[in-house]
């Protein structure tokens, strides 16, 4: 593995303990630590007074023990002297309060005074550590977020940047008022200065404010990247983020500019399914499919009722590796004594190695026992892609909605259940669709003309394009189009969307003081479709065929009898449109039908939800993330390098938490035995 290690906070522990920590890290097989993201107060204890001696001593020890360092810019937690002496550096919330003194992520991204202090500490650190052999990477800030734990900043500086951005975008107030539908609720502005948040009811307005705030945060950290690279161009610079589709910051722009991605994911029994999509997403977030880093993950079993800690953690490790991780860092080395974050760490408060330490050592030993470094191998080429519309992600963030996230992950879940592990493509004019047989478009709510042209050419050249949900129904600003949608794509799909209805609880009075429709209780309707049953949730659309053929119709809802799934030939390819937000079983049925229509070979039955089947660099991974035995109706061909499965009547049975890794080879699927070196073959 390129880098394997943890987050380390030596500033919180006695100096006499540091060398013991590095000895234990080396014995664990670690070769990297992450330092400094919350250490500004020690690095600059007084305004303009910088003390780097302790950090340099830690770096020397790391180098002595063969451990590299991912240094962090410390801007995520400002020193107390700054917040007390310069309150304008901190966020100003809509209620007039500023963040509490014990919080992090409290700074105002537009504050000139904060930016001065932030630029200065980053520049000083870059210069102080530029030649140290231990420092090979940098993390910018920590888990960037517009609202984060401290809320949205609406200070005068942020509002002014917002007004300037909109003035530049729209040019005139008349154009701005038309775009923002100012005629309703007396919403026309007579001056730019009158445009002030918060925006509670106008979702499109809030989306624009979040967009500008996200640009401020990206601008801040990308400037810090430039300061670092100026001192040492060889450094790899990235940032860590726990978000996927639900984010106020354009992660595609940010990671595309950085060129390397790092994400944070934490183990628990009920969320490995969504993190499968998460890791595939980060593999492609820079604009190309490439290995990534997991900068934080739990070195502990959050399910305290599960007695098998090693078993529960092992599938997470191998899922990350199989889906493209080349480096993994655990959080954290030693558990906090103050309880800022109460979850366990690699070491308890005492600093004595225990269960978590032994579990991670077993994982490292298992990884090292394999014939080669699997994390250095290229990810397998996918034949299916999911396009992610990050701009729509901002729109959903402004509504407090998870529809985009759920719509995307349900398609991913349906594909992986069929053994089809897709790539994620971030919607842009530079994305290359030509390598994929099928491309899914979940919630691509604003499609610029040039990107619509890419979709058109892809289908014309023989591709299969499947869309669902609100396709190109929004303007760039986030308001609904005045034209029939899918705007400028009706001929591509051979249909028009006549209406869209939210599925709301019929017993709810929408006039009882609830202005935000997303706050109303949701309902669902049962459908008979695709040879089974499903439920439509959140919304349904009424489709008007204009040349498309109807594969399935809605058996219920106010649009009963309207098309549910359509198919349309265009050039040498074909398009599909799904007119309802379906539950997980429904999406599985729909995806299977679409892939069948596209001629993609499929298994007769879905994989169990606990089981992943992934390929990377000539190896096939079968990963059981559950505490029960699961089976797959196939026997893999090749040399088994990890795992002890049972083969029975054409099926492979994997025990609780078992990971099976098979190296492709010439062995016949019926040949089951032991190779001369003791490894099983299938």
Secondary structure (3-state) at 578: strand
Last residue of a domain, one of 566, 597, 628: 597
C-alpha angle 677-680-681 in degrees, rounded to nearest 5: 110
Are 506 and 634 part of one and the same domain? Answer: no
Computed from CA positions of residues 103, 104, 108, 112, in that sequence, does the dihedral angle turn out positive or negative?
positive
Are 512 and 621 part of one and the same domain? Answer: no
Position with higher pLDDT, 45 vs 184: 45
Are 584 and 629 part of one and the same domain? Answer: no
**Inside any domain, residue 425:** yes
Q: Mean per-residue pLDDT for 620-628?
A: 94
Are 62 and 206 part of one and the same domain? Answer: yes
Are 527 and 592 part of one and the same domain? Answer: yes
Distance CA 99, CA 91 (A): 7
Contact in structure between 564 and 552 (CB atoms under 8 Å): yes
**Inside any domain, residue 492:** yes
Residue 123: burial class (beta carbons within 10 Å; 0-12, 13-18, 19+): middle
Contact in structure between 626 and 657 (CB atoms under 8 Å): yes
The helix (H) or strand (E) run that includes residue 639 is: strand 639-642
- Show the 3-state SS of 432-493: CCCCCCEEEEECCCCCCHHHHHHHHHHHHCCCEEEEECCCCCECCCCCECCCCECCCCHHHH
Distance CA 570, CA 493 (A): 8
**Bond into 486 cis (ω within 30):** yes
Residue 262 banded pLDDT, cuts 50, 70, 90: very high
| φ/ψ (deg, to 5) at 426 | -80, 125
What tens digit of pLDDT does each residue of 563-575 get?
999 999 999 999 9
C-alpha angle 266-270-273 in degrees, rounded to nearest 5: 80
Look at residue 610 and tell me whether its pLDDT is greater than 60.
yes
Task: Give Cα separations from 213 to 96, 207, 210, 514 (angstroms).
Answer: 18, 10, 5, 27
Contact in structure between 283 and 323 (CB atoms under 8 Å): yes
Distance CA 455, CA 446 (A): 13
C-alpha angle 535-413-309 in degrees, rounded to nearest 5: 120
Residue 666: CATH number of its domain:
2.60.40.1180
Contact in structure between 364 and 313 (CB atoms under 8 Å): no
Contact in structure between 244 and 281 (CB atoms under 8 Å): yes
Residue 583: CATH number of its domain:
3.40.50.880
Task: Give Cα separations from 7 to 264, 508, 522, 538, 603 (angstroms).
Answer: 12, 49, 41, 40, 42
Check residue 574 and give its pLDDT: 98
Are 96 and 158 part of one and the same domain? Answer: yes
Are 510 and 628 part of one and the same domain? Answer: no
Are 540 and 616 part of one and the same domain? Answer: no
The Cα diameter of the chain in Å comes to 83
The helix (H) or strand (E) run that includes residue 157 is: helix 156-170
**Inside any domain, residue 257:** no
Distance CA 331, CA 339 (A): 14
Q: What is the DSSP string of 265-283?
A: ----TT-HHHHHHHHHHHH
Are 474 and 557 part of one and the same domain? Answer: yes
CB proximity list for 584: less than 8 A, separation 6 or greater: 410, 413, 414
Residue 672 banded pLDDT, cuts 50, 70, 90: very low
Query: How many domains, in total, are found in the chain?
Result: 3
Last residue of a domain, one of 544, 565, 597: 597
Look at residue 678 and tell me whether its pLDDT is greater than 70.
no
Check residue 499 and give its pLDDT: 93
**Bond into 332 cis (ω within 30):** yes
Distance CA 316, CA 275 (A): 9
Contact in structure between 109 and 147 (CB atoms under 8 Å): no
Strands annotated E in 491-597? 495-502, 524-529, 532-545, 549-553, 563-570, 573-578, 580-582
- Indicate the average pLDDT of the chain: 90
Check residue 554 and give its pLDDT: 95
Check residue 666 and give its pLDDT: 35
Check residue 268 and give its pLDDT: 67
Which residue, 258, 274, 230, is CA-closest to 123?
A: 230
Check residue 513 and give its pLDDT: 39
Are 176 and 213 part of one and the same domain? Answer: yes
C-alpha angle 484-485-491 in degrees, rounded to nearest 5: 100
**Inside any domain, residue 161:** yes
Secondary structure (3-state) at 21: helix
The helix (H) or strand (E) run that includes residue 357 is: helix 355-368
Look at residue 272 and tell me whether its pLDDT is greater than 60.
yes
Check residue 392 and give its pLDDT: 76
Distance CA 165, CA 266 (A): 37
Distance CA 625, CA 270 (A): 10
What tens digit of pLDDT does each residue of 152-194 get?
999 999 999 999 999 999 999 999 998 888 888 898 999 999 9
Edge-first strand listing for the sheet containing 549-553: 423-426, 384-388, 438-442, 464-468, 573-578, 563-570, 549-553
CB proximity list for 499: less than 8 A, separation 6 or greater: 541, 542, 559
**Inside any domain, residue 166:** yes
What tens digit of pLDDT does each residue of 506-517 get?
444 344 333 344
Look at residue 671 and tell me whether its pLDDT is greater than 80.
no
Computed from CA positions of residues 312, 342, 272, 7, in that sequence, does the dihedral angle turn out positive or negative?
negative
Last residue of a domain, one of 200, 233, 266: 233
Are 506 and 622 part of one and the same domain? Answer: no
Position with higher pLDDT, 482 vs 495: 495
Distance CA 160, CA 671 (A): 71
Residues in the chain: 682
pTM: 0.93
Query: Taking the CA of residue 227 as centre, how many other CA atoms within 13 Å lie in the half-sphere pointing to its CB?
Result: 24
665: number of Cβ within 10 Å: 14
Strands 325-331 and 3-7: parallel
For the CA atoms of the chain, what is the radius of gyration? 26
The lowest-confidence range among 37-51, 111-125, 155-169, 388-402 is: 388-402
Q: What range does the domain containing 74 cover?
A: 31-233
**Inside any domain, residue 442:** yes
Look at residue 397 and tell me whether its pLDDT is greater than 70.
no
Check residue 665 and give its pLDDT: 59
CA dihedral of residues 305, 311, 315, 317 (deg, nearest 10) = 100
Contact in structure between 440 and 387 (CB atoms under 8 Å): yes
**Inside any domain, residue 175:** yes
**Inside any domain, residue 6:** no
Are 563 and 649 part of one and the same domain? Answer: no
Percent of the chain at pLDDT above 90? Answer: 75
The helix (H) or strand (E) run that includes residue 297 is: strand 292-298
Between 203-231 and 112-129, two packed helices, what is the crossing angle to 10 degrees?
30
Distance CA 391, CA 369 (A): 44
DSSP secondary structure letter of residue 101: T
């Amino acid at each position: 593995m390129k880098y394997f290690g943890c987050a380390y906070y030596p500033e919180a522990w006695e100096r006499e303990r540091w060398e013991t920590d590095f000895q234990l890290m080396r014995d664990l097989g670690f070769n990297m630590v992450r330092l400094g993201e919350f250490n500004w107060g020690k690095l600059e204890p007084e305004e303009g007074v910088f003390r780097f001696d302790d950090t340099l001593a830690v770096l020397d020890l790391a180098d002595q023990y063969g451990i590299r360092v991912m240094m962090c810019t410390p801007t995520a937690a400002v020193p107390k002297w700054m917040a007390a002496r310069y309150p304008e550096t901190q966020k100003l919330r809509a209620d007039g309060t500023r963040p509490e003194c014990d919080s992090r992520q409290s700074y105002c991204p537009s504050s000139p005074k904060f930016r001065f202090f932030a630029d200065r500490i980053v520049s000083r650190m870059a210069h102080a550590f530029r030649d140290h052999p231990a420092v090979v990477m940098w993390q910018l800030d920590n888990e960037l977020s517009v609202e984060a734990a401290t809320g949205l900043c609406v200070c005068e500086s942020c509002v002014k940047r917002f007004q300037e951005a909109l003035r530049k975008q729209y040019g005139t107030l008349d154009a701005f008022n038309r775009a923002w539908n100012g005629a309703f609720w007396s919403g026309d502005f007579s001056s730019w200065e009158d445009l002030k948040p918060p925006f509670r009811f106008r979702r499109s307005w809030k989306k624009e404010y979040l967009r500008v705030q996200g640009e401020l945060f990206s601008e801040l950290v990308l400037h810090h990247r430039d300061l670092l690279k100026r001192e040492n161009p060889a450094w790899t610079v990235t940032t860590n983020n726990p978000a996927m589709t639900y984010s106020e910051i354009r992660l595609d722009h940010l990671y595309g500019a950085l060129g390397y991605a790092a994400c944070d994911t934490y183990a628990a029994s009920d969320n490995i399914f969504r993190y499968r999509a998460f890791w595939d997403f980060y593999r492609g977030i820079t604009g190309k499919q490439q290995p990534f880093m997991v900068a934080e993950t739990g070195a502990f079993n959050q399910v305290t009722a599960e007695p098998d800690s090693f078993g529960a953690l092992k599938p997470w490790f191998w899922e990350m590796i199989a889906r493209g991780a080349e480096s993994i860092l655990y959080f954290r080395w030693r558990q906090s004594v103050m309880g800022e974050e109460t979850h366990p760490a690699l070491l308890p408060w005492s600093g004595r190695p225990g269960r978590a330490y032994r579990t991670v050592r077993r994982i490292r030993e298992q990884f090292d026992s394999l014939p080669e470094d699997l994390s250095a191998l290229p990810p397998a080429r996918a034949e299916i892609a999911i396009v992610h519309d990050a701009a729509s992600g901002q729109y959903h963030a402004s509504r407090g909605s998870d529809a985009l996230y759920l719509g995307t992950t349900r398609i991913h879940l349906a594909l992986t259940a069929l053994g089809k592990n897709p790539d994620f493509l971030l919607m842009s004019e530079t994305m290359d669709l030509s390598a994929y047989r099928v491309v899914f478009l979940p919630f691509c709510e604003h499609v610029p003309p040039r990107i619509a042209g890419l979709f058109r050419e892809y289908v014309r050249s023989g591709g299969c394009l499947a869309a669902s949900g609100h396709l190109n129904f929004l303007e760039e600003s986030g308001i609904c189009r005045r034209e029939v949608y899918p705007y400028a794509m009706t001929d591509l799909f051979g249909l028009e969307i006549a209406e869209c209805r939210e599925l709301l609880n019929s017993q709810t009075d929408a006039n009882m003081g609830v202005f935000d429709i997303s706050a109303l209780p949701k309902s669902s309707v049962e459908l008979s479709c695709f040879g089974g049953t499903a439920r439509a949730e959140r919304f349904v659309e009424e489709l008007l065929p204009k040349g498309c053929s109807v594969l399935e119709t809605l058996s219920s809802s106010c649009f009963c009898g309207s098309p549910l799934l359509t198919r349309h030939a265009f050039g040498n390819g074909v398009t599909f449109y799904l007119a309802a937000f379906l539950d997980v079983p429904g999406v599985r049925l729909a995806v299977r039908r679409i892939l069948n229509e596209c001629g993609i070979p499929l298994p007769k039955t879905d994989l169990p939800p606990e089981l992943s089947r992934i390929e990377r660099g000539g190896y096939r991974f079968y990963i059981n993330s559950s505490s029960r035995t699961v089976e797959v109706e196939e026997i893999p061909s090749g040399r088994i390098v990890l795992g002890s499965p049972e083969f029975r009547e054409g099926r492979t049975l994997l025990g609780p938490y078992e990971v099976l890794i098979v190296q492709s080879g010439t062995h016949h699927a019926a040949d089951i035995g032991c190779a001369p070196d003791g490894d099983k073959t299938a």
